[in-house]
Structure formats: C-alpha cells, structure tokens
A and B are shown apart, each in its own frame.
Chain A
Amino acid sequence: MTASPKVWAILAMSTLESTQALTSFDVHGAANPSSAPSRRPGAMVSAELAMHLLRQMVVIREFEVRCMQAYQDKKIGGFCHVYIGQEAVAVGCTAAIRPSDPMVTAYRDHGHALARGMSANACMAEMFGRVDGCAKGKGGSMHMFDREHNLFGGHGIVGAQIPLGVGLAFACKYEDEVIHERKSDRVALAFLGDGALNQGAFHEAMNLAGLLNTPAVIICENNGYSMGTSIHRGTTMGHNLAAKAAAYGIESAVVDGMDVLSVYESMSLICDRARRESRPAFVDMRTYRFKGHSMSDPRKYRTREEESQYEAGDPITTMKGRMIEAGMLTNEAFKSILREARAEAKASVEFAESSPVPAITELHTDVFVEPWGRYTGSSDPKMLGGARREPSFRAIENSEGLS
C-alpha cells in the first residue's frame, strides 16, 4: 500500500440530493434515461477510514458468497438473504455512529452484524446452528444479536423492528435525561427495507418517533423491490419517500446507498443533528441488491440488463477506483485485501463446521430469565433459578405471602 494511513484525501462522492435518477434503469424514481449520477467534490477522509470502509465491504461481500455456497451445500438451513450489492449502506452507517449507539435491523442482517463488529466466525456459526454462533445457534440467519456491539437484532417479521428501534432511541433519552439527569447525546439506528414501508408498524413507529421526539434515525434501505414486487407496484409515492416522513413531521434525506462515502458523510451529519437536537430523522437510502430476495428467488421480475447496469455501480469497485485515483490504494494492495477477506470468509465456514452442535439441554434455556419469577417468597434454593420439573406442593393460605 502506497498511502500512509494518516493521509487525508478528498474523495469524490456521488449525490442524490435532488432525487436524481441514478441510471437509465431507475428502480426508485421516474425513468430518466439521460441522467447519470452526479458527482461532487466530496469530503476529507483519512486513508485509515477509507481503508476501513473498503475492507469491511469486501469482507461482507466475500462472507455472503460463502453463505450462498454453504446454503447450496445444505449446510445453512431455512431462509437465507444475502446483502451483496448493499454493503455500502451498513458499512457507511455503522462507521458514522459511536459504539454506544444502539442499532436494530431486519432479516437481511449479516452485513450489519459484521459491520457492527461481530466476528465472521460467530455470524457463520449462527447460520450453521452451532454453539459458537452469536446466539448459540438459536437465532439463525435472520436473527443476529450482539450485545457487546449494541446490535439489538436482526428481525424476521417485516417492519417489526422499527418500533423497537424507536424504543431504543426512547430508552437512550430516558436513561440519560430521566435517570442520569444529563443531556442525551445518543442516537439509535433502525434499518428497514422498502417493503416495510407499507407495514402498519412503520407508520406507528414514525408517528411515535415524531410525537415523542426520540433520537431515532430510521433508514430505509430502498433497493427497489419488496421481495419480487417493485416499489412502484407496491408503494404509493415511491419516488418521493420524503413525503411520507414529512407527514410525521420528520426531516429526511435521500442518500446514494451505492456510495459508501456518501453514506458515511450524510449519516454523520444526520446523526449529529439527531444527537444535538434529540429528534428523529428518516433516510431514503437508494441501493440495489445484486442477488435475489432469498436463495430461492429466480429474479424474473427484473431484467438482466437492469441488473448489469447497477452492477456497474458496484460500491466496492467505486470505492476502490476512488482510492486508487487519490493515491490511497494500489491494485496489488486491493488484491491482498480481497485475498485476506476471502480467507477470513472461508475460515469462518471451517470454524462453523467444526463448532459443536448445541447440547440438547440448550433447548430449554433462555426461555425465561427466571422461570418462576425473581421474587419467590422463599429461600429454598430450588426455587431460585432453573426450571422446576417436579410439581411442588406450595399452596399457601390467605395470610401468607407477606414479605
């Protein structure tokens, strides 16, 4: 690598501020064949950060490739939704927040987990249903949880995570201001896909966020398709989601989700404002998934031409080109990043395969923190923890139960 980590460079960024069409195939807005992504000078970014963003996107890409392979080899069960094409969103967003900011997302969650700091091993082992998975193999592909890194889950039901995200923001504010009596400066991120725009939970959560002024940044990863239905076939005002946010008194931004620098810079500004003013924000994050909705999606609802056009705007290729242009990266250095990422992804598969299956006893744990309640009214150690198997004879008289 030629660039020193301390070098700062101005990298060009594309912008969608005026909701311009991205390409001739514009899945998000009205078709506008003549327009191309506009570019603006961009922000000062350290080589260290640029490298971090690029590396994370490559790691996620390589990881998802191995997920697809493992799924096809029947090593991953159930449903599996890969993030290929959308890497810039999770990577740019998580880089823009602090470790103490909570975050919640939907079922296409491997990228968010890795970007937030979960190890590829824990993520892959979870999908293999093994004990070393982030949730000991009890969650699966759609339910990545990581307490250490403040990831409050991937959630399988479309839209269900949005009220939770507003709740995370509410709790940040309540904890800081009511309990600790200090100004709150945390934000919570809640991700959703454009398919969730039509769930009641989205609208209820938006209304509550606007009403209660919770510092929730609600990010719609708008890839143009809710499963196999294009946004224009399923969503009113699909070309202008800002209108939806405005209805709830929430400011919004349109961001080019295929450009990790745009994502990073916009999210930094949006989150700063949300922290400062303790208010929600909505982001229409324009992106595109290169693969199907799930592993069994033949993608008959869109053309290969459309796909190749978006693939030409691959966020990894774009970032790589910018960095080479700025003298931060060489082709050789990129190859070595790719090699390392591929090795890490393959190693995670091996790790997952060698991780033990959960003990059958795990079936019964984690249903309750305390199956019979925290207050038992008894000092009997058998009643303090663990599920009791035998019925115990404990009917008490009227007068008992007083502590």
Chain B
Amino acid sequence: MSVREIEYRDALNEAMSEEMRRDKRVFLLGEEVAQYDGAYKVSRGMLAEFGERRIIDTPISESGFAGMAIGAAMMGLRPIVEFMSWSFSLVAADPILNNAPKMLYMSGGQFGCPIVFRGNGGAGGQLGSTHSWCVEGLYSNVPGIKIVMPSTPYEAKGLLKTAIRDDDPVFFLESERMLGTKGEVPESEYLIPFGQARIARAGKDVTLVSFGRPVLFCLEAAETLAKEGISCEVLDMRTIRPLDIGSIVKSVRKTSACVVVDQSWSFASPGSEVAAQVHAACFDDLDNFVHRVHTVDVPTPYATELEQEYLPSARRICEAVRACLYRA
C-alpha cells in the first residue's frame, strides 16, 4: 500500500487539527489565522471546524498577543501562536525570550509555559533584509526553549504534534519555501520525539549535519559528491534544542570528518555550537576541523542572484566537503 503524499502546509494543518480535536485546551491565535484562512493557508478550514473561540484572529500586535498567550499557558491552556513570519517575532522578544523560557525557573518550578510559537523562518523569497530572519541563530542561545526545524512534511506533522503535547515552550520554525513541498505522510497517527536525529542518507566519508530546509541542500550535495566517490552521511537533526549530539558523535567517529550546514549567520550560531561540541567529543577522531556552511555574514540582499549566493547551497556544501576531506 502506498503512503499518500501531502503538502508541508497540510501536514501542519493536520497536526494542529488533530491535536485540537483531542484536547480542548489547545487553541490557535495569530494574524489572519481565522477569517482569512491563514496568511499562508496553513490554518485553512480550521475556523469552520473549531469556531472563533478557538481560532482567533489577532491584530498586528505580536508583543501583545504573544504575552497574552503566555499568560494563558501559565494558567494551563496550550496555545499555538502563529507568527506570520518569525521575523515579526522580534517585536515580541520580551515575552518570548524573557517570559516564556524563564517562568518555570523564576517561579522555582511553580509555573510552566506549555506553548508553541510557530511560523515561517528563513530567506529565499526575495523578501529583503527585514523579513528574512533565521531566528534560530538568536534564539537557540536561550535556555528553556525547545527549537524544532522540520525538513519534510512527514517531520512537520510528527514534530508539531509532539510540540503541542510538550509541557515547555517550543519554537517551531517552518519554511515558507517548503510550504508547497509534497511528501509522504501516513494517514495513521504518529509522533516524532524531540532530540532524535534522522539519518537522511547513510554514508561513510563525511558527516553532514543540518536542520530544516538546508537538509535538502545537503541531500542534493551528497548526490553530486557521490559521483566523485565521496560518500556523505546526512543527519537531519530535526530539533536544535534538544540537540542529539550523540547521533552526531556516533557518525563522526565513523567518518572522521564533519561539515555543519546552517542557514543562520555563522557568528555564535547553531552551527558553531555543533562544531564546538564535535571538537570536544570527537577530538581524537577528526582528520580536519569541523567545516561550516552558513548564510553569508551580511544582511539579506534582495536581488535573486545575490540572495542565492548568500544562502547555503549544494555548491557551497560540496566545496566545504572537499576542503574538509583534503580534496580541494
């Protein structure tokens, strides 16, 4: 029996709808989520099914509605907050960074914050500098947050269901560029645990570590490199926090070489963190330092050609792998 294929956005929709049917504490709020049926049609049809008490349109007021949802989560509800773009979450930095992740700690364990913030992250659509944020570089620095980056419709659904059931704040970073991507998603219910990487492609010469959309670039690069006789193992980390360093270590001990591909800026990024952890755990196993492929360290440009050069790409990944294996 073949598994059906659905779009990434519908996988997200299914995850939210299934969880809302299961648990009345779950509700969705954000800009254009209800009457408009979702700015990117992720919440398509949900107003009709769940009504305006549970699918709530908010004004353009990220700081306000993020804070309000956090208050509701402290009371025991399980809000899903949609940021139309993670770029807009910056105006809600205080509630999402100063309140949600610290509440449990500051209250000595009395008040948790079971909340999901989700929306589009990353560049690639000529949106210009202000709308192209890869917030994982900023936000993964903060303890108390779980950060999820699904790379396929299958991961999107299974991870979002896990996120909604999680008792801690979860930042769920989707990609506008992937919303229309189709992939196999089983009809039967499944969940994907946090902190477990997926071997997207097995190999023996080099370990490619990535998160979210760049996993696809890694797979593309692995195809090219295979023709040169280089066998790449591609790890889709699925969550940045918690980070499944164990799987990375296991793979690097086998390959002795590691390239991290991360769509955020290089300075103090998830990629630099992975590199530091690999250097510590696999020092004696490495044949070269961990190589990294990031977006270029400049604001996101508008022009297509510049933007493509700015982003991690299969070409830049291939170059990094060859350099790491002394084959440049």
Contact = CB atoms under 8 A, between A and B. Distances in A.
A377 B191 contact: yes
Interface in B193-231: 193-200
Contact of A375 (B168, B186, B193): B193
Contact of B67 (A163, A376, A403): A163
Contacts of A155: 99
Nearest to A148: B110
B104 A200 contact: no
B54 interface: yes
B72 A168 contact: yes
B273 interface: no
Interface in A172-212: 172, 174-175, 177-179, 188, 200-201, 203-205, 207-208, 211-212
A296 interface: no
Interface centre among B72, B165, B188, B191 (most CB of A within 10 A): B72
A401 B158 CA distance: 8
A372 B193 CA distance: 8
B195 A211 contact: no
A178 B53 contact: yes
A299 B32 CA distance: 48
A234 B237 CA distance: 49
Interface stretch (B126-134, B173-181, B241-249, B286-294): B241-249
Given A153-B103, A163-B95, A208-B58, A171 B67 contact: no
B12 interface: no
B106 A135 contact: yes
A164 B191 contact: no
A143 B114 CA distance: 20
B98 interface: yes
A136 B104 CA distance: 12
A370 B71 CA distance: 20
A219 B72 CA distance: 19
A8 B74 CA distance: 39
Given A163-B70, A170-B71, A369-B104, A374 B95 contact: no
Interface centre among B68, B72, B146, B199 (most CB of A within 10 A): B68
Nearest to B199: A395
Contacts of B199: 395-398
A373 B190 contact: no
A201 B64 contact: yes
A152 interface: yes
Given A167-B72, A171-B77, A394-B246, A134 B108 contact: yes
B191 A366 contact: no
Contacts of A365: 109
Contacts of A378: 193
A102 interface: yes
A203 to B, nearest CB: 8
B32 to A, nearest CB: 15
A370 to B, nearest CB: 6
Given A153-B106, A157-B94, A211-B59, A393 B71 contact: no
Given A369-B104, A371-B242, A168 B64 contact: no
B204 to A, nearest CB: 14
A167 B103 CA distance: 14
Given A393-B249, A395-B247, A368 B61 contact: no
A208 B194 contact: no
A394 B64 contact: no
B198 A375 contact: no
Nearest to B98: A157
Interface string B82-119: 00000000000011001100011111111110100000
Contacts of B54: 178
A171 B200 CA distance: 41
A139 interface: yes
A23 B38 CA distance: 55
Nearest to A145: B107
A366 B109 contact: yes
Nearest to A214: B68
A166 B53 contact: no
A396 B94 contact: no
Given A208-B59, A393-B249, A401-B193, A163 B71 contact: yes
Contacts of B266: none
B235 interface: yes
A367 interface: yes
Nearest to A159: B94
Interface in B2-26: 24-25
A201 B64 CA distance: 6
A398 B190 CA distance: 13
B303 interface: no
Contacts of B98: 157, 160
B319 interface: no
B296 interface: no
A397 B162 CA distance: 18
A97 interface: no
A391 interface: yes
A403 B191 contact: yes
A177 B53 contact: yes
A7 to B, nearest CB: 39
Contacts of B251: 395
B77 A174 contact: yes
Contacts of A175: 75-77
Contact of B66 (A153, A163, A374, A390): A163
B305 interface: no
B109 A403 contact: no
A134 B74 CA distance: 17
A212 to B, nearest CB: 8
Contacts of B68: 163-164, 166-167, 170, 205, 208
B64 A402 contact: no
Given A395-B246, A402-B186, 4 more contacts: A166-B68, A168-B74, A204-B64, A401-B190
9 contacts: A166-B68, A170-B71, A208-B59, A375-B166, A378-B193, A394-B195, A394-B196, A395-B198, A395-B244
Task: Please give me the 6 A-B residue pairs with the lowest Cβ-Cβ distance, nearest first.
Answer: A167-B71, A163-B67, A204-B64, A135-B108, A391-B246, A395-B247
